[in-house]
Amino acid sequence: MKEELTKRIVEEVIRRLQQSPHDEACIPIGVSARHCHLKEKDLEFLFGKGYQLTKKADLSQPGQFAANETVIIAGPKGSIERVRVLGPLRKETQVEASQTDAIKLGLKPPIRESGDLEGSSPVTIIGPNGSLFLEKGLIIAQAHIHMSPDQALQFSVADGEYVAVEVGHLIRPIRYERVQIRVSSKYILEMHIDTDEANAGLIVSGQTGKLVKRDAEEVR
Amino acid sequence: MKEELTKRIVEEVIRRLQQSPHDEACIPIGVSARHCHLKEKDLEFLFGKGYQLTKKADLSQPGQFAANETVIIAGPKGSIERVRVLGPLRKETQVEASQTDAIKLGLKPPIRESGDLEGSSPVTIIGPNGSLFLEKGLIIAQAHIHMSPDQALQFSVADGEYVAVEVGHLIRPIRYERVQIRVSSKYILEMHIDTDEANAGLIVSGQTGKLVKRDAEEVR
C-alpha cells in the first residue's frame, strides 16, 4: 500500500507540474496493461448469475476502476492469465491487448478506438464459471489523449484530431506519430499508451510527453 | 518452407529497392526476438561436454546464424522458454531480451550495445544438461544500424553516431530518436530493433525506415 501511495503522490506532483503555464504542451502518460471490459450478460456467464464486480482501485479517468476480478484470454496459439477486468460494465464486451500479446495468442486484432469493434478479432474469455468465444471483441488500443474542452482550447486541438507526442527519455527517446485527441468534460488530462508503446521507450506511468501539433499536410 | 522462401524474396526485393539512388536514406529493418549468445564453456555446461551448435538458418549479417538449440531464461519473477541460441560462439555469454521480457523475469537489464556487459543484469540460463546463474549477462539491445564504410559515407554518418529513424507506417507511425550507427566492412545494411520497438510500430522484418541525421545540438 505504501508503494501505491508513493506512486500516486508522484503522479499527482507530475500532474500539477505539467499544469504550469510554462510547460503547456506536457501530457502525463498512463500505461494501459492488457484488460477486459464486460457487459452484464457476459459477466454473469463468466462469474455466475447476479455476480457484481468488486473495486480494487480507482483509475485516473473519473468513475473508471480496476476490479479485483481477472479472466484468462486465449487464442489458437496460446493464452494469457490474470487479465484484469475494468469497471463499470459496458454495453459490449471488449478485450484490449498489445501486439506482443496478440502474437502470443495467435490473433490479429486491429488498432482501434475503444468501443469500435466492427471487424475486430475473435477471442476466447475464460472465467471461473464458464468460457465465452466471441466472434469479435479483441483490439489493440489506438494511442490517445484524454482532455477537457478547456484543455483542448489551450492545446489548440479538436476531438478526433491526430497529434504527435515526443517523450524525451535520455536512454530510449521516442516519438509517437499518431495519437488521437479525445475531448470530454468528464476527462482528466492523460495520454494512454499500451505496454508495447511504453516499453519501446522505457516509459512508466507518471512520465510526461510533449504534444506536437502536426502540420496539415503531414496528417495521414 | 514456402512461407520462409516468400519472406526471403520479399526481404531481398525490399533490400534492392532501398538501394535505389532516389531513396538513399531508406534502411531495411530486422526485428530481433530475444536470444542468447554462448561462450564455449557455457555451451558445454548447458548442453554437455564437446557439444556443438547446429545451424537452423543463416541470419542477415554474414557468418551469423540461428541455432536449432534453445534455452530457458529465468529471473526472480518468471521464466521464458525456447529462447533461441545464436551462433557462432562468442567470448562472453550474453542474453538479449526486451523490456517486456525483463518485466516478466523480474529483472532490470540496462540498454546496451552487444558485448558491453559491465553492470548488466544477472540472469539464469537453463539447458538440457544443467543451469547457470550468471552475475551479469542480460541486456536490452540498443537499437542500431549495421552498414559498410561505403554506406556510412553515402549516409554521411560515422561509427558510433546516433541518428533518428522514422517508420511511416500508416496505422502506427513511429520515430526512434536514438539509433546507433555501426560501421564495418563485414556488415550488410540493416537496422536492428527489438520486439517492443517493433510492436510499438506494428513493424515486421523487411519493412524499411528513413534515416534522419540529427542536428549537433539535438544529439544527447
**What's the complex ipTM?**
0.83
Strand A121-127 with A65-75, pairing: antiparallel
The answer to whether the CB of B70 falls within 8 A of the CB of B64 is no
CB contact under 8 A, B170 and A220: yes
Over the stretch B75-97, which tens digit does the pLDDT of each residue have?
999 999 999 999 999 999 999 99
Q: What is the pLDDT of residue A197?
A: 98
B-chain residues near A170 (CB < 8 A): 220
Chain B residues lying within 8 Å of A195, measured CB to CB: 100
Q: Which of B175, B197, B220 sits opposite A177 (nearest CB)?
A: B175
Inter-chain CB pairs, A–B, below 8 Å:
64
Residue B94 near residue B103, CB atoms below 8 Å: no
Mean pLDDT of chain B: 91
Distance CA A185, CA A205 (A): 23
- Given a contact cutoff of 8 angstroms between Cβ atoms, the answer to whether B101 and B131 are in contact is no
Closest B-chain CA to A194? B200
pLDDT tens string B114-142: 999 999 999 999 999 999 999 999 999 99
CA dist A98 and A111 (Å) reads 9
Print pLDDT tens along chain A (220 aa). Answer: 567 777 777 776 665 555 544 455 799 999 999 999 999 999 999 999 999 999 999 999 999 999 999 999 999 999 999 999 999 999 999 999 999 999 999 999 999 999 999 999 999 999 999 999 999 999 999 999 999 999 999 999 999 999 999 998 779 999 999 999 999 999 999 999 999 999 999 999 999 999 998 764 444 3
SS (HEC) of A137-168: EEEEECCEEEECHHHHHHHCCCCCCEEEEEEC
d(CA A27, CA B215): 25
Cell digits of residue B75:
529471473
A111 to B202: CB separation less than 8 angstroms, yes or no: yes
* Chain B residues lying within 8 Å of A111, measured CB to CB: 171-172, 202
A155's CB contacts (< 8 A; 6+ apart) are A24, A25, A147, A181, A211, A213
The whole-number pLDDT of residue A217 equals 43
CB contact under 8 A, A173 and B197: no
What is d(CA A112, CA A138) in angstroms, rounded to the nearest whole number? Answer: 10
Q: Do A200 and B202 touch (CB under 8 A)?
A: no
Three-state SS at B75 = strand
Query: pLDDT tens for residues A147-203?
Result: 999 999 999 999 999 999 999 877 999 999 999 999 999 999 999 999 999 999 999
| Residue contact B171–A177, C-beta within 8 A | no
